[in-house]
Amino acid sequence: MATLKEIADRTGVSIATVSRVLNYDETLSVSEEKRKRILEVADELDYMPPGRKAQGAAKGRGKGRPRIGLIHFLSVSEELDDPYYISIRIGIERRSQELGFELVKIYKADGRFHTEELRNVQGIIAIGKFNSEEIDAFSANCSDVVMVDSSQRPHRFDSVVVDVAASMRELLNFALAQGFTRIGFYGCEERYAEHRTYLGEKRYTAFVEYMKDKGLYDSRYVK
């Protein structure tokens, strides 16, 4: 089993830095490149926190512990380029450890998800955006599914999502309070497989409505 020292030796940083990165300490001053490298090496070496190792030794894998499937719509390498999704995954892992859950993590590999690993799980947390076939495959193994960062099939599955329109209004309130009036918007449209999400459009719509309401909208500043 990998140790903090092994990860530190591979990445050329101190053991303390490795520990703080793996615990997602946002106060740590370290470059994103170095942070990503530490997380990448930890995954390569299959590092497991000491508390989780002790718990596993005491109870035994799969004996009396609730098993939760954690499905990530990104591959391992793609996640390393996305600190937002890393933070979501680490938060779930940390809370699962505190509650004594056994977490079965599944990333996209070779263009697919190996859903056979979801057998006998008591719940599934699905992070990201998935197409209909993928969602059907997940729910075939367990009907209790929670979607994170998307709200697909809202009448069937619970979800945890950000209210991007409210966030945009809060941001603009702050900008105006600082004295800014010529505010631009540079947005995008996300696409994933068959599913098209509208986060970009929601932010854009909220921006336009807010700025027009304040009499400050100028199309020259929108892209």
Q: In this prediction, what percent of the chain has a pLDDT beyond 70?
A: 86
Mean of per-residue pLDDT scores for the chain: 83
pLDDT at 60 over 60: no
The pTM of this model reads: 0.62
Q: What is the pLDDT of residues 131-185, one digit of tens each?
A: 888 889 899 988 899 999 888 788 889 999 888 889 999 999 999 999 999 999 9
pLDDT at 57 over 50: no
Q: For residue 79, what pLDDT band results from cuts at 50, 70 and 90?
A: confident
More confident residue, 188 or 91: 91
Task: Please report the pLDDT score of residue 54 as a whole number.
Answer: 44
Q: What is the pLDDT of residues 80-138, one digit of tens each?
A: 778 888 888 888 888 888 888 888 888 888 888 888 888 889 999 999 888 888 889 89
pLDDT at 192 over 80: no
The CB-based long-range contact list for 98-102 (8 Å cut-off, 24+ gap) reads 99/66, 100/55, 100/59, 100/65, 100/66, 101/65, 101/66, 101/67, 101/68, 102/61, 102/62, 102/65, 102/66, 102/67, 102/68
The CB-based long-range contact list for 60-65 (8 Å cut-off, 24+ gap) reads 61/102, 62/102, 65/100, 65/101, 65/102
* Among 47, 110, 48, residue whose Cα is nearest residue 75: 110
| CB-count exposure of residue 45 (10 Å: 0-12, 13-18, 19+) | middle
More confident residue, 209 or 39: 209
